[in-house]
Structure 1
Amino acid sequence: MMSWDSVYILKLSMEGITYEHEWVFAPLLWRFMYKLRVLINTIFQYEMNVYDITLCYFIINCVLLYQICQISKKIVELIIRNDYLKDVSIDSNTINLFTYLRPIGVISLICYSETPAQFFTFYGVYLHLSSFTKSKTFINSKVKYLLSGVMFSVAFGIRSNCLLMGILYLNDLFTLSRKRDKLLSLFTGGILFLSFIYLTYLPYFLYCPERGEWCNSTTKSLVSYLQVTRWNNGFLNYFTLNNIPNFIISLPTVLFIALMNVTLWNVKSVRGLVYISWVYLFTQVFFMNIQIITRVSSFLPITIIALSLGVYECEMKENKLVRVLNDSKFISIYLFGTFIWNFIQPMLFGAFLPPA
């Protein structure tokens, strides 16, 4: 990743699109940096080189990681207020530890889409959670609710897997009691859906039908066509003997996310997030390249929420989560294992080995 996809993002940030396949990844991210580069050149008469762009991405990711910590803290406090009926202030150091020590590791700082997508997703989750009453039966702030859809749309423009956040609005459609709230969930989810339509079919309008090949596919989507024909995505396509090492590397992350989903099932505020996490996990394991789960899963706040609530329950002697997270030893083992992984991961990348 540090050697491969960073080059891709840097090239686009410097030169823009040359070949049609370059429409596939992070369309909003590199366009932002490209426009910033042009703006700086116009105002200051300074031509940013590749090292300047790399430094900008690094600084932006550092700032966003700090903001993600602050947002995560607010998310956890909202959940405790709504589901545990207590107003508490979570220790920032606890949240910071769970945010920084994750399987994504060093990738969170390089020139790629994971950290910006994570920021907008987490911000959208916070706006979504804070828009409800404590009982989560009514929408209390329509502005925050609508803005959550905007945040998820931006996240989708950076990473396509963030489209799954639309499941939140489907969940709201079936759980909210007032008709006007149901209509608002449809409208807000529609913002994300329109973003999907626009970004999916814009390349089609530019290249098709003269281009042929992917233009003639069923979905008319360049992204889905490349996933099937170039990355071998598809149901059980990755279940081959040569991919056993990739499954072994990914297994701890898969099992941990599954455990966190089970853990949070009874926490009403995050039921929609659990649905998203299960759908993502199923798709990643059975349809996609399994090894990328160590980085792509970072857009989900599930693990940070579950671990933080586990610490809270240990201190408050609550018992809403499954028992394993009420044991501080489990949390310590997770942190130690992730710490070791964060050293192994860059060495694998440096040797052009998975996870990629």
Structure 2
Amino acid sequence: MSAWKPFSQPSNDPIKSLVIIFVLWKFVLVLLAIASPVPGYDTSTLILIRGHDLNLSRRTFYSEFHTIRERLSLSLVRWDAIYFVKTAERGYVNEQEWAFSWVFTRLIAFFAFYLPSSKNALESYIWAGLLISLVSHLLSVLVLHRLFITVRKDTPNSKVAFVAAVLHIISPAGLFLSAPYGESLFSLFNFSGMLLYAKYQRAQQDRSSRHALKECYLVGSGCCFAMATSLRSNGLLSGLIFAYDVATLLPSLLGFRLDLIGFRRLLATVIAGLLTAIGFLGPQWLAYEEFCGVAMSNGHVRPWCTKLFPSIYSWVQVHYWDLGFLRYWTLSNVPLFLIAAPMLWLLVQSSFTALTDQLQAQILSTPSPSTSSPSRNSGVRQTTLRPGKETESDDIERGCLRRLALPQLVLALTTFTSFHVQIINRISSGYPLWYLAIAISLVKGTPLYVFGKAQSSASSWVVHWMISYAIIQGGLFASFLPPA
């Protein structure tokens, strides 16, 4: 292997390079948070930290946040982070708080217990949440790098895998991946589940590996997806990977052509899917026991308790936040749809290229020496397909890419029709395929498609947009300003 040069050849030692890039990027975002004016637009965090002492003047109230630690605490506990931190400290009290991950708040409470105590009891919970997010983000970067190496059966110093991991570092999620939010931990578990699934697919290719080990990969993948789903309910979409596999095995099962190996594979797939579902149902069962168990016997029943599928998640979304199919489609929300448009396009475009095998064709392609300059007609660099017959490894790669595309595509469509659309810029951070599509375009010179037309420079523009959006949004977040 060539010598590692952090600036000219970073992929020669990708782990070390990724850690350095991660630290530098986080340093920039932390400086941005420290430099942002406190308490910002809203004083919710200030009141939460300092209490309701109205005898303090505004000047005294604000000037007490003079240390870097205090400014960071104030700048990074914004929006949903207020719910996560406060719920971790005192448990769930209000119904709408159950929309915020029970697992994540319990993790914050667990780690806060081991942190040094301070004069402000809440500060331990804040820093526990910050540390969980930072460590989880770094680990998810490394897992994503390994995921693409496994999917492509590539070398550890793969430039495509390295660039994709760097893109995850500079994700437009920005400070959301550093604040006490569940996005970083969700990414870690969602990527880990996909990595174990890719290892399972590669083990299928290895005739010498034991079947029990293969099925352990599959069940382990389901466990990771269960954890991801317990952090964010959209993690349930990763179960589509298992649904895809069950659909491919059903014809053999119904035709009584499924052998013992195939049956074990089907059983492991179903178990993995059920584990993913448990990650969604488990916290809701706790909420049901809290609000519907004793309450129903006393006659004080919340409306959602009597539904056929009593989901507190759905109830909170509809009742408190007025969400639902096309409910967010109002004239006042048009700017938010414009903010979300670039990411929605990336998710849909990369998903379709994977589902139609165009993404794999770009992976297998190499720049043609005769067409190294842009085409006169399209302005796009031409590529030629790598010579040789398609191997079993290529077929596994194609299958993995198709499966990774499904959760991402459904996420984009449901966000566009039913969610606060602007959150796509942060929740997309936990889905890997769009990083790969941009990385392939940057490394191999293949184009991205905008409104059906190939654009050779689109990938570089996307990177510029990611960096710009992360910085601008970071400043807004630290000042408690939308979008969030």
The interval holding the TM-score normalised by the smaller chain is 0.7 to 0.9
Residue 332 (1) aligns with residue 404 (2): no
What is the aligned partner in structure 1 of residue 270 from structure 2?
186
- Cα deviation 1:100-124 (Å, max 9, x = unaligned): 1222111110011111111100011
Q: CA RMSD in A?
A: 2.8
- Cα deviation 1:111-151 (Å, max 9, x = unaligned): 11111111100011100111113777997711111111001
Identity of aligned residues (%): 24
Structure of greater Rg? 2
Residue 301 (1) aligns with residue 432 (2): yes
Higher mean displacement: 345-354 or 111-120: 345-354
Q: Which residue identity lines up with residue 270 of structure 2 in the other structure?
A: L
Unpaired segments ≥5 residues, structure 2: 1-75, 253-261, 361-397
Is the contact made by 2:230 and 2:283 (CA closer than 8 Å) also made in structure 1? yes
| Alpha-carbon distance, 1:93 to partner | 5.0
Higher mean displacement: 287-296 or 196-205: 196-205
In 1: Cα distance, 2:340 partner to 2:186 partner = 21
User: Residue 108 of structure 2 is aligned with which of 23, 33, 44?
Assistant: 33
Quickly say closer, same or farther: Cα 1:309–1:243, change in 2 above 3 A: same
Alignment of 1:159-238 (within 5 A): 159-176=232-249, 178-208=262-292, 209=296, 210-238=300-328
Residue 131 (1) aligns with residue 179 (2): no
- Partner SS state of residue 132, structure 1: helix
In 2: Cα distance, 1:124 partner to 1:307 partner = 22
In 2: Cα distance, 1:254 partner to 1:133 partner = 31
User: Residue 216 of structure 2 is aligned with which of 143, 152, 162?
Assistant: 143
In 2: Cα distance, 1:295 partner to 1:71 partner = 18
- Cα deviation 1:183-214 (Å, max 9, x = unaligned): 22111111112332322232112221233322
Q: Which residue identity lines up with residue 285 of structure 2 in the other structure?
A: Y
| Alpha-carbon distance, 1:61 to partner | 2.1
Q: Which residue identity lines up with residue 310 of structure 2 in the other structure?
A: K
Higher mean displacement: 154-163 or 329-338: 329-338
What is the aligned partner in structure 2 of residue 264 from structure 1?
354
User: Residue 78 of structure 1 is aligned with which of 147, 150, 161?
Assistant: 150
- Partner SS state of residue 133, structure 1: helix
Higher mean displacement: 161-170 or 95-104: 95-104
**Structure with greater helix percent:** 1
| Alpha-carbon distance, 1:45 to partner | 8.2
| Alpha-carbon distance, 1:46 to partner | 7.8
| Alpha-carbon distance, 1:304 to partner | 1.7
Is the contact made by 1:311 and 1:326 (CA closer than 8 Å) also made in structure 2? no
TM-score by length of 2: 0.65
Quickly say closer, same or farther: Cα 1:327–1:76, change in 2 above 3 A: farther
Is the contact made by 1:2 and 1:107 (CA closer than 8 Å) also made in structure 2? no
In 2: Cα distance, 1:334 partner to 1:322 partner = 10
User: Residue 18 of structure 1 is aligned with which of 73, 79, 93?
Assistant: 93
In 2: Cα distance, 1:323 partner to 1:296 partner = 23
Is the contact made by 1:2 and 1:349 (CA closer than 8 Å) also made in structure 2? no
Is the contact made by 2:349 and 2:449 (CA closer than 8 Å) also made in structure 1? no
Q: Alignment length, in residue pairs?
A: 344
| Alpha-carbon distance, 1:348 to partner | 3.4
In 2: Cα distance, 1:310 partner to 1:174 partner = 32
Q: Which residue identity lines up with residue 53 of structure 1 in the other structure?
A: Y
| Alpha-carbon distance, 1:88 to partner | 5.9
Q: Which residue identity lines up with residue 290 of structure 1 in the other structure?
A: V
- Cα deviation 1:161-193 (Å, max 9, x = unaligned): 101111010011123572321222111111112
Quickly say closer, same or farther: Cα 1:200–1:168, change in 2 above 3 A: same
In 1: Cα distance, 2:117 partner to 2:442 partner = 52
Q: Which residue identity lines up with residue 90 of structure 1 in the other structure?
A: S
Is the contact made by 2:236 and 2:280 (CA closer than 8 Å) also made in structure 1? yes
- Partner SS state of residue 3, structure 1: coil
- Cα deviation 1:298-329 (Å, max 9, x = unaligned): 22112222223334534xxxx7x867899763
- Partner SS state of residue 425, structure 2: helix
| Alpha-carbon distance, 1:30 to partner | 0.8
Unpaired segments ≥5 residues, structure 1: none
Q: Which residue identity lines up with residue 164 of structure 1 in the other structure?
A: L
**Deviant stretches of 4+, over 4 Å:** 44-48, 134-140, 321-328, 350-353
Quickly say closer, same or farther: Cα 1:205–1:191, change in 2 above 3 A: same
User: Residue 157 of structure 2 is aligned with which of 86, 89, 101?
Assistant: 89
Is the contact made by 2:189 and 2:224 (CA closer than 8 Å) also made in structure 1? yes
- Cα deviation 1:70-125 (Å, max 9, x = unaligned): 111111112222xxxx5463247524421112221111100111111111000111
Quickly say closer, same or farther: Cα 1:57–1:198, change in 2 above 3 A: closer
Quickly say closer, same or farther: Cα 1:300–1:137, change in 2 above 3 A: farther
- Cα deviation 1:321-348 (Å, max 9, x = unaligned): 8678997633221111111111221343
